[in-house]
């Protein structure tokens, strides 16, 4: 898959192969300024996707690589890389993600070349990690639309997300009443800055409020800003998925609730696929997983097709109240685990049969050779040696490999083999 990600092109154009290369290549501020200006003029973050028959999914904000919803440190973005591939490798072949947003580069460049350089280094480190694990070719990088507080409600209605508008006040009230408070709050002469504490962490904020604003007023405005940020991200994800006619992968819990309310509460095929925990692969690294996909070829494709068929059948029978994780457990327990056990039993049975029959033939032929030697009958010796070294003695081995070949044709053989091959499993 060709990659038109603007940062991939920049890295290749500059001959960057390591973070040290990147630091050297970006050191000249004047040259970097010209490079940034050139990319800002030519990059189209909303270009159509390249034609493909691959099963495509759009990664929601909690799985994308922008750092917009939470931490933008390279370590945290690389953790999201691992999380992303851990959830999609078995079901999807192409993932649309937000990487380093080109509009962020423009913002940082306006603040100063040092901030633009730091932004680039963060995302170059992530890109180099993607290349190291072999994941870049599965990804297509595209931008995402955003709305101001005035126009977001209208966009939400058009995207069948009116539930976000209805829940706005309740969500803000819940954040305020949780009274988790604010951290590092201060007024810098122009705006209030600090961190809004949330049950699952915290987010920074900047609010254009007067210096004499009360802490409660700052808290409510910060909560309103956080609601808008969450709603804006989901609206952008849904619009992008609709535009590319691809399903949306959502892992953020609040986003999932809003989408379930909009869809009537019935889990989708994607809900199940993202919830699937394959028993022999949970501890495999992204690099091991992606290597297996490439190396096993036809075996992986057969497994993937069977898995998609099984999930679609279960989803067609789903009703309100069923959940993605619940259906995923059914697929594992009713289909995958028994199929793996069948392959395991079949191979063990074939191996035992081969050992037993081979041992019997060796005993028989050894006896024949010994008897021939003792009695001086050349025919007995010849017969024994022929049996010992001839084609007949190989029959148990041939039968074992015949049995193994049949088992290798099973839909779940890829998964069974992956469990045996992957050292970290």
Task: Label residue 323 left, alpha or beta by phi (over 0 means left) and psi (-120 to 50 means alpha).
Answer: beta
141, 162, 186 — which closes off a domain? 141
List residues bridging with 29 in a β-sheet: none
DSSP string, 70-127: S--SHHHHHHHHHHHHHHHTTT-SEEEE--S-HHHHHHHHHH-HHHHHHHHHHHHHHH
8 A C-beta contact, residue 185 and residue 265: no
Query: Are 276 and 137 contained in the same domain?
Result: no
List residues bridging with 192 in a β-sheet: 187, 207
Max CA distance (Å), the chain: 115
Q: Which of 58-62, 133-137, 165-169, 174-178 has the lowest mean pLDDT?
A: 174-178
**Which of 243, 237, 244, 195 has the alpha carbon at shortest distance from 219?**
195
Gap between the Cα atoms of 39 and 25, Å rounded:
16
Residue 309 located in a structural domain? yes
Number of structural domains, the chain?
2
Question: From the DSSP assignment, how many helices (H) and strands (E) are in the chain?
Answer: 18, 7
Model confidence over 206-253: pLDDT tens digits?
A: 898 998 999 889 999 999 998 998 899 999 999 999 999 999 998 888
Reduce the DSSP state of residue 58 to 3 states and report it. strand
Query: Taking residues 374-391, what's their average pLDDT?
Result: 49
Reduce the DSSP state of residue 139 to 3 states and report it. strand
Q: Which of 121-135, 196-210, 306-320, 376-390 has the lowest mean pLDDT?
A: 376-390
Kindly tell me if the per-residue pLDDT of 418 is higher than 50: yes
Query: Taking residues 21-40, what's their average pLDDT?
Result: 95
Residue 202 located in a structural domain? no
Share of the chain above pLDDT 90, in %: 51
Residue 85 located in a structural domain? yes
Gap between the Cα atoms of 133 and 352, Å rounded:
39
User: Confidence class of residue 351 from pLDDT cuts 50, 70 and 90?
Assistant: confident
Query: Are 129 and 274 contained in the same domain?
Result: no
8 A C-beta contact, residue 230 and residue 218: no
**Which of 3, 391, 1, 63 has the alpha carbon at shortest distance from 240?**
63
Tokens of 284: 């495999």
Model confidence over 174-197: pLDDT tens digits?
A: 888 876 778 888 899 989 998 888
Residue 243 located in a structural domain? no
8 A C-beta contact, residue 91 and residue 77: no
List residues bridging with 131 in a β-sheet: none
Residue 167 located in a structural domain? no
pLDDT at 390: 53
75, 106, 141 — which closes off a domain? 141
Model confidence over 73-103: pLDDT tens digits?
A: 899 999 999 999 999 999 999 999 999 999 9
Q: Which residues contact 57 (CB under 8 A, 6 or more apart)?
A: 88, 91, 92, 94, 95, 96, 246, 247, 248, 249, 270
Gap between the Cα atoms of 366 and 50, Å rounded:
67
* Whole-prediction pTM: 0.81
Residue 419 located in a structural domain? yes
Reduce the DSSP state of residue 205 to 3 states and report it. strand
Tokens of 33: 């300024």
Q: Give the ranges where 143-214 is alpha helix by DSSP (H).
A: 152-158, 162-178
Q: Which domain holds residue 309?
A: 268-425
Q: Give the ranges where 213-319 is alpha helix by DSSP (H).
A: 215-243, 253-263, 269-275, 286-296, 298-316
Model confidence over 261-282: pLDDT tens digits?
A: 777 778 889 999 999 998 788 7
Residue 318 located in a structural domain? yes
Tokens of 12: 């290749």
Can you tell me which residue has the tokens 């994941």? 135
pLDDT at 181: 74
141, 173, 190 — which closes off a domain? 141
**Positive or negative, the Cα torsion across 354, 360, 366, 368?**
negative
Gap between the Cα atoms of 90 and 57, Å rounded:
12
Residue 264: Cβ within 10 Å count:
7
Residue 358 located in a structural domain? yes
């Amino acid at each position: 898959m060709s990659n038109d990600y603007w940062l991939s092109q920049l890295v290749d154009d500059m001959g960057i192969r390591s973070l040290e290369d990147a630091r050297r290549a970006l050191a000249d501020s004047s040259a970097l300024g010209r490079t940034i200006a050139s990319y800002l003029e030519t990059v189209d973050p909303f270009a159509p996707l390249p034609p493909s028959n691959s099963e495509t999914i759009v990664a929601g904000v909690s799985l994308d690589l922008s750092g917009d919803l939470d931490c933008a440190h390279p370590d945290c973005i690389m953790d999201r890389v691992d999380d992303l591939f851990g959830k999609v490798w078995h079901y999807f072949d192409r993932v649309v993600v937000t990487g380093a947003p080109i509009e962020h580069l423009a913002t940082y460049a306006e603040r100063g070349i040092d901030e633009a350089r730091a932004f680039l280094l963060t995302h170059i480190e992530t890109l180099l990690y993607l290349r190291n694990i072999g994941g870049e070719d599965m990804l297509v990088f595209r931008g995402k639309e955003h709305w101001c507080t005035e126009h977001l409600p209208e966009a939400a209605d058009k995207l069948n997300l009116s539930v976000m508008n209805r829940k706005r006040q309740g969500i803000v009230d819940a954040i305020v009443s949780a009274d988790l408070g604010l951290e590092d709050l201060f007024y810098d002469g122009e705006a209030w800055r600090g961190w809004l504490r949330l049950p699952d962490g915290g987010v920074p904020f900047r609010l254009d409020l007067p210096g004499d604003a009360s802490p409660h007023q700052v808290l409510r405005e910060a909560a309103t800003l956080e609601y808008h940020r969450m709603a804006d991200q989901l609206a952008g994800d849904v619009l992008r998925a609709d535009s590319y006619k691809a399903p949306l992968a959502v892992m953020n819990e609040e986003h999932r609730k809003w989408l379930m309310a909009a869809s009537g509460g019935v889990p989708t095929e994607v809900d199940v696929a993202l919830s699937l925990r394959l028993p022999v692969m949970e501890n495999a690294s992204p690099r091991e997983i992606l290597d297996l996909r490439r190396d096993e070829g036809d075996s992986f494709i057969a497994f993937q097709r069977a898995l998609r068929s099984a999930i679609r059948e279960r989803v067609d029978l789903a009703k309100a109240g069923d959940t993605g994780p619940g259906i995923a457990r059914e697929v594992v327990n009713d289909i995958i685990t028994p199929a793996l056990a069948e392959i395991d039993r079949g191979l063990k049975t074939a191996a035992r049969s081969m050992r037993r029959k081979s041992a019997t033939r060796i005993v028989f032929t050894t006896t024949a050779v010994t008897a021939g030697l003792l009695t001086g009958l050349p025919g007995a010796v010849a017969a024994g040696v022929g049996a010992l070294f001839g084609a007949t003695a190989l029959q148990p081995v041939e039968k074992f490999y015949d049995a193994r070949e049949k088992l290798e044709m099973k839909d779940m053989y890829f998964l069974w083999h992956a469990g045996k091959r992957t050292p970290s499993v």
